[in-house]
Chain A
Amino acid sequence: MTTTHIEQLLRSLTPAEPSATLFQSVAHDFSLADKFRHTEPLPVESSEATRKPRLQPLTWASLGAAAAVLIMSVMQYSAHHPRSASPSVAGTTTASARLTTEIPISSSREFLKVNDDGINFSQLGQPERRLRVKSIERQQWVDPRDGAVYIIETPREHAIAVPVSIQ
């Protein structure tokens, strides 16, 4: 008997079949994995839904306070600095008056980024997905007298609420 014979002997043995329970356990694992795969977004939405509403009143209150401070500052500044006395404001007025003589040739908007703020609840208690869309609005004018082209780029940010349904 040589080592080759030994290898032949070993290869002639068939490993015993595992129990049926093993097959069932593996099948169970795969079905669970499938289930999680199909319902994957739900936990994300629910976690956001539980987290966001708690912060929402604070966020709106902060925005309101910031707006109030800004308005008060502008009012104080206007009271101490009359508009007619300001050369920079006068310059801006001249420029805008000049632009009215130009011919608008195009207006476009370039979308830069969309931020998903997740699921929130509206004041009516309805779930909605909040998106913040950042874009640049471009407007072009041409001066017919010398062919000069004026371009004004205005950064924009829009908040959009898309109604969603949670099942």
Chain B
Amino acid sequence: MAAESYPEDLKYHPEHDWARIEGDQATFGITWYAQDALGEVVFFEPPEVGATISKDSAYAEVESVKAVSDVYAPLSGEVTEVNEALADNPERINEDPYGEGWLVKVKLSDPSEADQLLDVDAYKNLLGSDS
């Protein structure tokens, strides 16, 4: 499992999801905190390519041996790609949550929604008050 980290170039959603925003495109995943709370991921149920997903709504599921967790969309848009490698290697979400463990790529319908997300300091503060 990876060491705890929260990259500075990402935007964070309070449900422990991250977004890497590049113009009107973004990559989504779950944070180190989320994968640690869930434990070893053994199954990722992705949305379909082309699916419309809405900010703050569940768009996928990750499962550990004993638990299921919804994954919430940090931003709204249309899914353009899902991380197919996770079908055979879901543990990549634990090993590299911000890299090979990315979940989906999305064409954003309203990039200005990003203003509502947390920066790394605000997210770390949230984690601090959580625990």
* B partners with A: no
Chain B interface residues toward A at CB < 8 A: none
